[in-house]
Structure 1
């Protein structure tokens, strides 16, 4: 069976926008959509108050029913399944990720235990999931452009491969961004700075070359700005339908679950953000 696209929903508007993105992704890939709504911890003892338990149960089932209906109405041929597991949201979603193609989350939820709050559940899932994780904050369409950050790391190579696949799947252009910072004052535009820019562009072209051969249908453009990666990628995301980054790059300490660039882009990306790590 094809691995599903897993969408975490909690009844919030942003989680429903994430659901719509996930349903479209599943339809493009011809794979099932699995809708997950994690029951809040108080359900374990709410049965002492029968009315409260019934109300909570009806609301939770309504969240899943609404999500399923939205997905099926948008894509009538899509196979949609759902589940209402109990437990810690991050732990449940990380377990789902073990058998998923992609996990899709909204950037923020409704608040409380059942929400997918950026900074808690979403950060844990993005930092530790074995599959790609897409966090949907702003939804953009019509740009027909996928933006990907590249720095030569193993995580970056995985992000490039995913971005090329997405561009091919969606018939979109690809913009690969390799941001770098000149060590000297920016007031001096020197021959050494020009040489460094050329060196970085050549490196980016080398990273892209094998993927261009694998995906000859994808128009790939290079962007090598002399500025911090977060600024360059956040700016590029304003003209993209999807931003793709590795979970961590060349900087920072080995073993960190999430690098500083991907962490900041969870806040600043102007389009859905896919965070990728190499498959083991």
Structure 2
């Protein structure tokens, strides 16, 4: 393969602990896919912001960037010596740099927030990158390992297909079980305080399961070694996905699902799961190419 045509796994770092966790996740992903790893650390936009810079501040920022990049390279070389590493320190905002890099990336990986986001659960950079890239974006807030399971949420619609394909790919490379989750919520008119018993002969649940089985069938043919469990039921989607994240090493979601408004960058379920999932979350846009 001509390595010049390989799409790298791009990781954004800023020296924070969460960024380093994202770095290790991205390095492993690059290793599993036999792809290069591109480490991106942005610098202040010197020309645009020059009047605001006290003398010497830009040089300090450059020095910190060099240290952060050198530390990141050393960590990856130690953990994954076979991964080819590229580095970039563009003068740009982090979100703009990662969105630009995503145009030629296999995936973009970043922490859920950086050093200067206060107590927010999810930084603005992560939200902007997830909302404006066409390649998969993995947001690493919490790192989980040892479950040997990838979870993917689907609503049975065509918008879910790229997320399902990405999840199959990840499960195969990791030797992990794949749990396909679809929660329809309570039947219309069902008393919200009465969660049990739910109707056993639910036509909507049966129809959803049939849709998902049809989606999964060709992916199983391409990934025969992946063990798949279907979990289709009448529970709250957010609660179901959050629980699934407790028992997975990766949660994969589409950018928006059935009934999503065209033009919206991110569906409400995916947006909330980026805040509350307890494992890394991969967001795969509905227009993204499916994995083979």
Report TM bin, short chain. over 0.9
CA shift, 1:121, in A, is 1.3
- Are residues 1:18 and 2:48 paired? no
> Within 5 A, what are the aligned runs for 1:95-244?
95-111=100-116, 118-181=122-185, 182-186=187-191, 187=194, 189=197, 194-244=202-252
Deviations 1:205-226 (A, max 9, x none): 1221111111111000000131
CA shift, 1:247, in A, is 0.5
- Aligned partners of 1:105, 1:134: CA distance in 2, in Å? 7
| Contact 1:225 1:232 (8 Å CA) reproduced | no
Structure 1 equivalent of residue 281 of structure 2: 273
- Aligned partners of 2:141, 2:54: CA distance in 1, in Å? 36
Deviations 1:158-201 (A, max 9, x none): 10010001111111000000110221325474757533332322
Structure 2 equivalent of residue 75 of structure 1: 80
Q: What is the RMSD computed on CA atoms of the aligned residues?
A: 2.1
The two structures have a TM-score, normalised by structure 1, of 0.92
Aligned CA distance change for structure 1 residues 254 and 20 (closer, same or farther; 3 Å): same
Aligned CA distance change for structure 1 residues 102 and 191 (closer, same or farther; 3 Å): closer
| Contact 1:109 1:117 (8 Å CA) reproduced | no
SS in 1 for 2:233: coil
- Aligned partners of 1:79, 1:101: CA distance in 2, in Å? 14
SS in 2 for 1:45: helix
| Contact 1:111 1:117 (8 Å CA) reproduced | no
| Contact 2:177 2:226 (8 Å CA) reproduced | yes
- Aligned partners of 1:54, 1:190: CA distance in 2, in Å? 64
SS in 1 for 2:179: strand
After TM superposition, the structure 1 stretch with the greater mean CA deviation from structure 2, 96-105 or 225-234, is 225-234
Residue among 53, 61, 66 paired with 1:61: 66
- Aligned partners of 1:81, 1:266: CA distance in 2, in Å? 28
| Contact 2:256 2:270 (8 Å CA) reproduced | yes
SS in 2 for 1:152: coil
Aligned CA distance change for structure 1 residues 36 and 191 (closer, same or farther; 3 Å): closer
Which consecutive unaligned segments of at least 5 residues does structure 2 have? none
The two structures have a TM-score, normalised by structure 2, of 0.89
